[in-house]
Amino acid sequence: MIKVGLYVGRFQPFHMGHIEAIKYALKKVDELIIAIGSAQYSYTLDNPFTTGERITMIRIGLYESGIDTSKYQIVPIPDINIHTLWIAYVKSYTPKFDLVFSNEPLTSRLFKETGIKVESIPYFNRNVCSATEIRKRMISNEDWQSLMPKSVSSYLMEIDGVDRIIELTRTDNPSIQKSKF
């Protein structure tokens, strides 16, 4: 009987911390569903990259790390902003899973309340290996490349991702500057 896990993130951008978390999870389950949250957003300060770009980063990053495509599935999930419904929404969007990997206290509680098992996941170099930190470094022109797989940082250069983030900090377009829905 195959054991399936669920791991939710926004991956803005995808970095070494995510890779270590996925490797950790794949020791506990046979297959991992990687859910991309806030899927409808992009070109905002908090969500600079499109879902298509995030899928690409995850796939090339996992390929570089030697993780086979048969071991994971990627499922983008739009936010619905009504939190009591979010768990039901995730369940309708994803194949059946047996447990959730999460360190987030409220996510954990919400999943547990519907009878789903939740396991925490050790942090990997949390101080620097966070998407927020990486976006900050991109803006202040510090090293961010070392925090992610080479193929992902190359891809971000290719799509001109750093310039996009810098422009997002400077915008005063009312429709764009709202970093949150």
The CB-of-151 to a copy of itself minimum distance in angstroms stands at 14
74 and 34 Cβ atoms separated by less than 8 Å: yes
The CB-of-20 to a copy of itself minimum distance in angstroms stands at 18
Q: For a copy of itself, which stretch binds (CB under 8 A), given 15-23, 116-124, 142-150, 163-171? A: 163-171
Q: Which is nearer to a copy of itself, 20 or 31 (CB)?
A: 31
- In whole angstroms, give the CA distance from residue 32 to residue 25: 7
For residue 14, the SS3 value is coil
Q: Is 175 in the site for a copy of itself (CB under 8 A)?
A: yes
- In whole angstroms, give the CA distance from residue 39 to residue 49: 10
Q: Under 8 Å CB-to-CB from 132, ≥6 apart: which residues?
A: none
Concatenate the DSSP letters of all residues of 125-140 into one string.
STTTSSHHHHHHHHHT
Q: Which is nearer to a copy of itself, 10 or 148 (CB)?
A: 10
The CB-of-12 to a copy of itself minimum distance in angstroms stands at 9
H-helix or E-strand containing 75? strand 72-76
The CB-of-96 to a copy of itself minimum distance in angstroms stands at 7
| Site for a copy of itself, residues 11 to 70, rule: CB under 8 A | 37-44, 46, 50-53, 55-56, 59, 68-70
Concatenate the DSSP letters of all residues of 29-58 into one string.
-SEEEEEESSTT--SSSS--S-HHHHHHHH
Q: Is 154 in the site for a copy of itself (CB under 8 A)?
A: no
Q: For a copy of itself, which stretch binds (CB under 8 A), given 22-30, 80-88, 119-127, 145-153? A: 80-88
**DSSP secondary-structure letter at 99?**
E
171 and 177 Cβ atoms separated by less than 8 Å: yes
Q: Is 104 in the site for a copy of itself (CB under 8 A)?
A: yes
Positions touching a copy of itself (CB under 8 A) are: 8, 10, 37-44, 46, 50-53, 55-56, 59, 68-70, 73-76, 78-89, 91-96, 104-107, 109-110, 164, 167-168, 170-176, 178, 180-181
